[in-house]
Structure 1
Amino acid sequence: MSFKELFEMQEILNTRIVDEHQLHNEDLYEKRLLALLVELGELANETRCFKYWSLKPPSSYEVILEEYVDGLHFLLSVGLDLGIKDIEDDESLQRENLTDQFLSLYQRIGELQGEKDISLFRTLFSEFIGLGDMLGFSEETIIEGYKEKNQINHQRQDEGY
């Protein structure tokens, strides 16, 4: 499945934010990587996959989906920073469990800080989609969730967020 439409939507949002916040002379790549790490952590927190000491169940499907697509916004932004405008997810990469999947994603993001490598980004993207699979999200659900949150993000900009 192609993610071209989402890259286009993200580029529009990014351009709007850069214009409205006068960030034309600022390199946002590392801030976007950090934002992706933070969103990934928020997602892991909602899944509670690493909280071996707790019996509390994960958050609702809707909350987890919203955190997932928050991360997707920054993942797409990182891809755009690398000059990627479309990507095909031919084979989602999945680890044995959610904890391993999150740790692998953190590692890939860290590697992208040191080396702006398109091949590495493609692996990261595939692992991120694999995480969505592991969380029970179809690509259609991910795309619809992204579109809904993108609209909210534009509305937030309208309101001076």
Structure 2
Amino acid sequence: MNLNKLFPIQKELDTRIEREKGLEGQNLLDKKILALQVELGELANEWRGFKFWSNKQKPQLAYNKGCDECIGGISKSSPLLGPYRKCEYCRVNPLLEEYVDCLHFILSIGLEKNLEGVNVPLSDRLQVDITTHFNEVFFWVSNFRDVVLDNGEFGDLDYIYRILFMQFIRLGEMLGFTTEQIEQAYLDKNKVNHERQANDY
């Protein structure tokens, strides 16, 4: 996955949001970090593997939820639109969608602190279970925030960001995503995010 290609794409979206929402010059870092933590929680919720109390511990990897544009994932047919076709607005893989929502915020946080240009190798590290790895990612997000708050006095922000990114990419591998799937899903969601801004989201 070419992460360096994704930073400018994220920057364009961030700039648009800040301009259109009147947020230029505001420090949004703490909100972005909280948003990342919320999205990580949503990702864990879609994964379901930590829910020891539930009989449904496997993620739902594909479904058509339906939307205002379609009927159960198939676009409505009309004389103007033509025959039924797959709806591009419906979630196809909610787990992957939540993962790339996290990726948007990780990239945005890196841009905020001028930490773009991260090179994250695919890891051959010791396997841990996915629950433990989710907790690792949460730990590194919190660690990053702590170092930001103390202005880097007690840690190297660049190093911690790279570790956070590496742990996040590793989580994606553990969830079964290929780098190609992640990159394409990111690009697709980025397009949706721009459409949302155009529609006063």
Partner of 1:138: 178
Partner of 1:38: 38
Partner of 1:66: 97
Partner of 2:80: none
Secondary structure of 2:59's aligned partner: coil
How far residue 55 of structure 1 moved from its aligned partner, in angstroms, is 1.1
Letter in 2 for 1:59: Q
Letter in 2 for 1:65: L
> Does the alignment pair 1:14 with 2:14?
yes
Distance 1:103 1:95, change over 3 A: farther
Superposition CA RMSD, Å: 1.3
Percent identity reads 42
The answer on whether the counterparts of 1:69 and 1:145 sit within 8 Å (CA) in structure 2 is: yes
Distance 1:95 1:102, change over 3 A: farther
Letter in 1 for 2:29: Y
Partner of 1:107: 139
Distance 1:114 1:13 in 2: 26
Distance 1:25 1:82 in 2: 14
- Runs of 5+ consecutive residues of structure 2 not aligned to the other structure: 63-92, 149-156
Higher relative contact order (CA 8 A, sep 6+): 1
Partner of 2:119: 88
Letter in 1 for 2:173: D
Distance 2:130 2:142 in 1: 18
How far residue 91 of structure 1 moved from its aligned partner, in angstroms, is 3.6
How far residue 59 of structure 1 moved from its aligned partner, in angstroms, is 1.8
Partner of 1:119: 159
Distance 1:24 1:145, change over 3 A: same
Letter in 2 for 1:96: V
Partner of 1:3: 3
Kindly provide the CA deviation profile for residues 69-107 of structure 1, in whole angstroms up to 9, marking residues without a partner as x. Answer: 000000100111120222211143665111111101111
Distance 1:71 1:49 in 2: 18
TM-score by length of 2: 0.77
Distance 1:31 1:134 in 2: 27
- Runs of 5+ consecutive residues of structure 1 not aligned to the other structure: none
Please identify which structure carries the higher helix content. 1
Count the aligned residue pairs.
161
How far residue 25 of structure 1 moved from its aligned partner, in angstroms, is 2.9
Kindly provide the CA deviation profile for residues 2-57 of structure 1, in whole angstroms up to 9, marking residues without a partner as x. Answer: 31111110000000000001111310001000000000000000000210111113
Q: Which structure: larger Rg?
A: 2
Partner of 1:78: 109
